Amino acid sequence: MDRMNELAQRDFAHIWHPCCQMKDYETLPSIVIDHGEGAYLYDVNGNSYLDIISSWWCNLLGHCNPKINAAVKAQLDKLEHVIFVNFSHETAIDLADKLVNILPKGLNKLNFADNGSAAVEIALKLAFQYQHQTGHSEKTRFMCLSEGYHGETIGALSVGSMDLFAQIYKPMMMNNIHVEAPDCYRCPFNKNRECCECECFKYAEEAFANYAKETVAIIVEPIVQGCAGMRIYPPLYLKKLRQLCNEYGVLLIADEIATGFGRTGKMFACDHADITPDIMCISKALTGGYMPMSIVCTTDKIYDAFYADYNEGKQFMHSHTYAGNPLGCSTALAVLKILEEDKILEKCQPKAEYFNNLLNEAFGNHKNIGEIRHINLINALELVTDKQTKTGFDGKLRIGYEIYKKALPHGLLLRPLGNVIYFNPPLNIEEKDLEKAVRLAKIAMDEVLG
């Protein structure tokens, strides 16, 4: 038996993998990865996989990036972890300084946690407590957008709208207000995202008119609704939302967990609209995909509502064991240094154009591709059975999963979202690898779609 088979069998014996049907592993066992380098992963049998999805969107600057590796190693020999209440360390302090300089203006206070969902929970609790402590205890509910995704713990799931993840748990969830999100590919107003007035914003206006009084905050994924299939919407929507939140005293929470750190071409997606949310969650690319870490960023205004004598009971009583973990902070610092020194964002622009052109050449006339949408290096191909009616494939066919399976033996790691095949590579990927990704994706898709 080869090494892969042996390890995959041991894997199957005890490991319950996330977000999948384990029975599928009978026919597609775990691919056991030995090492990574740049945009590539190598399995224990020596096969390579082009990681065009950045390992769940977090790997920002390639696997085993030598500069990040060096930073972790240096930190490891100094301090691996310390309790973060009453204690601190220089790496976290340096990181906070650097972050505040690049975050949307006014986000000055940083609350550390260890994963994206935890950051969303913190954002919800912070917002709730802020309203309560500033005389608005009548505000108890949250608003969110349809098809939104904010993680899978109970609170985060409650402000998500993807039934795939949430359906069964509905009886456990908060009673939130779900606002119809922009859906530019199937725009109900027959506009297109390059030149519309965000007519669909009327759904938000209606919801605010009806429910703002009882609403603590609205949470959104700015510009790109990732899990929904990389649904991209115009910055104008965010500008209008900022305005509406101000008018009604509803806090704006931006979940930049997937969009932060240059993914959309600007440092943060909120920068496209030139807005500052009241609370912003960052994770994933924050550590270049190295360490589980997240940060909830907020304004002085919110911070000040918690700042009082202990006996007043206004403090935010929330903690995670690994908050401010030094290894996480060291990777984040290294990421910021590389982004700046290597001018990663500037270099991305021509690469993103090149990539989008390649995809348009390869798939522009494909009978089953309804839309190719992109922002920076994120590209998504929406699969349809009929381009006129924009009808998607029946979910039971699992067309994306079939394409994923076909791509693997060709050495390409895709992870489609339902009917959407997407690409979200590390920002420093080379053009030859982008070309290869398009070529291999085409082969896999031709094998499935004919």
Integer angstrom CA distances of residue 31 from 22, 35, 287, 443: 14, 12, 24, 21
Residues in binding contact with ligand PLP, number by CB under 6 A? 14
Of the candidate residues 51, 121, 147, 255, the single one contacting ligand PLP (CB under 6 A): 255
Q: Are 200 and 187 in contact (CB under 8 A)?
A: yes
The span from the CA of 224 to the CA of 231, in Å, is 5
| 267/262 Cα distance (integer angstroms) | 4
Nearest of 362, 338, 371 to residue 434 by alpha carbon = 362
In 173-278 the beta strands, taken as DSSP E runs, fall at 177-179, 215-220, 224-225, 231-232, 251-255
* Options 114-122, 183-191, 228-236, 330-338: segment touching ligand PLP (CB under 6 A): 114-122
The residues in 359-398 that bind ligand PLP, with binding defined as CB under 6 A, are none
Any contact of residue 262 with ligand PLP (CB under 6 A)?
Answer: no
| Residue 116 within binding range of ligand PLP, rule CB under 6 A | yes
Handedness of CA 351, 354, 356, 358 (dihedral sign): negative
**Residue 358 CB contacts under 8 Å (≥ 6 apart), including other chains:** 434, 435, 438
Q: Where are the alpha helices (DSSP H) in 176-283?
A: 202-211, 235-248
Closest CB 149 distance from ligand PLP, rounded Å: 6
Q: How far apart are CA 83 and CA 49, in angstroms?
A: 39
Which residue among 63, 109, 139, 150 contacts ligand PLP (CB under 6 A)? 150
Strands 33-37 and 40-43: antiparallel
Minimum distance from CB of 386 to ligand PLP (Å)? 30
Q: 284 or 373, CB closer to ligand PLP?
A: 284
Residues 57-96, one symbol each (x = binds ligand PLP by CB under 6 A, - = not), give ----------------------------------------
Closest among 142, 221, 141, 152 to 182, alpha carbons compared = 221
Q: Report in angstroms how near the CB of residue 448 gets to ligand PLP at its nearest.
A: 26
CB 256 within 8 A of CB 224: no
Among 59, 129, 283, 299, binds ligand PLP (CB under 6 A): 283
**Per CB under 6 A, which of residues 130..149 are in contact with ligand PLP?**
149
Strand-strand pairing, 251-255 and 279-282: parallel
Residue from the set 4, 127, 220, 258 that interacts with ligand PLP by CB under 6 A: 258
Does 151 bind ligand PLP (CB under 6 A)? Our answer is yes
- Residue among 50, 99, 122, 257 that touches ligand PLP (CB under 6 A): 257
Answer for which of 147, 221, 271, 382 binds ligand PLP (CB under 6 A) is 221
For 68, other C-beta atoms within 10 Å of its C-beta total: 26
Pick the closer one to ligand PLP by CB: 19 or 168.
19
Q: Does 215 bind ligand PLP (CB under 6 A)?
A: no
Selected binder of ligand PLP within 36, 62, 104, 226 (CB under 6 A)? 226
CB of 144 or CB of 437, closer to ligand PLP? 144
For ligand PLP, the binding residues (CB under 6 A) are 115-117, 120, 149-151, 221, 226, 255, 257-258, 283-284
